[in-house]
């Protein structure tokens, strides 16, 4: 019985195959499991035992009836398949625990602050809209926020004009169109500074239109954009900006407030500080 608990090990060359690396990069766990069957000769039952899932769940994942979204499940899969570090990195995970420095690591399942991981905003949109439908407090940190809140068909606009629930208190932080950081960000995404600045000003104007429908506070910040945050009461959706990489294209982490978790507190503290230091425009 003990042998059945050992990881499934693939030959090193299997992790280097283009199709396997593409599946890891896309977080297509169903495809990864199929390649484990193909290159490792493992049955669904053997995979299930190694990664801590039921055989029925592995079957659903392989056949596309269920997706993996939780970070702790990704971690169990990586460990159960004995993924090398470069494969773990493609999946969005840190290096294996046994080679990490800085002392012992904790089991992610014991600190369930990150409860889901989405590949992009598109895959998280349905849940974000559902949470926003009844939210009491909404915080947004973005570059211009048009796709999130500034336009009639943006992700969160309906939550601000709802009729069956009291409107939320809304705070929006957007990039100062006159800050040097705006030109840097514009260059990063291949857009002119004038276009990006116009988008910020359009978002401000559209948010001012909501003054009679909900309590909206709009602030400008001057830092180079790094984090993109949505706080819906005690739930955070966190993504990132990078060169050539828009926030809606980033993986999104769903972070919940827990008694000892640092992420929710840290991002909330950062938002409050940026609000205090920002310039209110609406």
Comparing 31 with 25, which gets the higher pLDDT?
A: 31
User: DSSP 3-state assignment of 126?
Assistant: helix
Please give the average per-residue pLDDT across 116-144, as a whole number. Answer: 90
Tell me the per-residue pLDDT of 173-199, one tens digit each, with 9 for 90 and over: 999 999 999 999 999 999 999 999 999
Helix (H) or strand (E) holding 89: helix 85-90
Dihedral (CA of 24, 29, 31, 32) sign: positive
| Pairing of the two strands 279-280 and 215-221 | antiparallel
Q: Give the count of alpha carbons within 13 A of 255, CB side only.
A: 21
Tokens (6 digits) for 249 = 């294209």
Single pTM value for the model: 0.63
SS3 string, 128-195, reads HHHHHCCCCEEEEECCCCHHHHHCCCCCCHHHHCCCCCCCCEEEEEEECCCCHHHHHHHHHCCCCHHH
Average of per-residue pLDDT values in the chain: 87
Please give the average per-residue pLDDT across 44-67, as a whole number. Answer: 93
User: DSSP 3-state assignment of 179?
Assistant: coil
Instruction: Find tokens 């004038």 and name the residue.
Output: 194
Tell me the per-residue pLDDT of 196-240, one tens digit each, with 9 for 90 and over: 999 999 999 998 888 778 889 999 999 999 999 999 999 999 999
Q: For the sheet containing 114-118, what is the strand order?
A: 114-118, 252-256, 235-240, 227-232, 137-141, 169-175, 215-221, 279-280
Tell me the per-residue pLDDT of 138-158, one tens digit each, with 9 for 90 and over: 999 999 988 888 788 888 888
46, 8 contact by CB (below 8 A): yes
The full set of domains in the chain, from first to last, is: 2-94 (1.10.260.40), 121-280 (3.30.870.10)
Residue 280: closest CA among 227, 216, 197, 228? 216
Dihedral (CA of 167, 171, 176, 181) sign: negative
278, 219 contact by CB (below 8 A): yes
Residue 234: closest CA among 251, 256, 209, 206? 256
Tell me the per-residue pLDDT of 90-116, one tens digit each, with 9 for 90 and over: 888 877 754 444 444 444 554 568 888
- pLDDT given at position 5: 59
């Amino acid at each position: 019985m003990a042998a059945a608990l050992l990881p499934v090990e693939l030959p090193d060359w299997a992790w280097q195959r283009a199709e396997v690396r593409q599946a890891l990069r896309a977080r297509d766990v169903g495809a990864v499991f199929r390649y484990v069957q193909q290159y490792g000769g493992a049955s669904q039952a053997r995979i299930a035992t190694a990664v801590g899932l039921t055989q029925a769940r592995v079957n659903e994942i392989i056949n596309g009836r269920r997706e993996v979204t939780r970070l702790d499940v990704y971690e169990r899969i990586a460990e159960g398949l004995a993924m090398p570090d470069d494969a773990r990195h493609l999946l969005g995970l840190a290096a294996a625990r046994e080679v990490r420095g800085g002392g012992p690591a904790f089991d992610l399942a014991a600190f369930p602050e990150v409860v889901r991981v989405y590949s992009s905003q598109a895959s998280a949109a349905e849940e974000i809209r559902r949470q926003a439908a009844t939210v009491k407090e909404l915080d947004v940190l973005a570059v211009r926020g048009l796709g999130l809140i500034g336009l009639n068909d943006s992700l969160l606009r309906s939550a601000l004009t709802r009729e069956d629930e009291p409107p939320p208190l809304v705070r929006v932080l957007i990039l100062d169109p006159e800050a040097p950081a705006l030109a840097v960000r514009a260059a990063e995404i291949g857009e002119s500074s004038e276009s990006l600045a116009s988008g910020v000003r359009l978002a401000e104007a559209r948010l001012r239109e909501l003054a009679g429908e909900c309590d909206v506070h709009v602030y400008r910040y001057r830092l180079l954009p790094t984090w993109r945050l949505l706080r819906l009461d005690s739930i955070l959706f966190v993504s990132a900006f990078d060169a050539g990489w828009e926030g809606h294209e980033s993986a999104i982490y769903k972070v919940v407030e827990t008694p000892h978790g640092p992420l929710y507190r840290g991002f909330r503290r950062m938002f409050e500080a940026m609000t205090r230091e920002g310039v209110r425009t609406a």
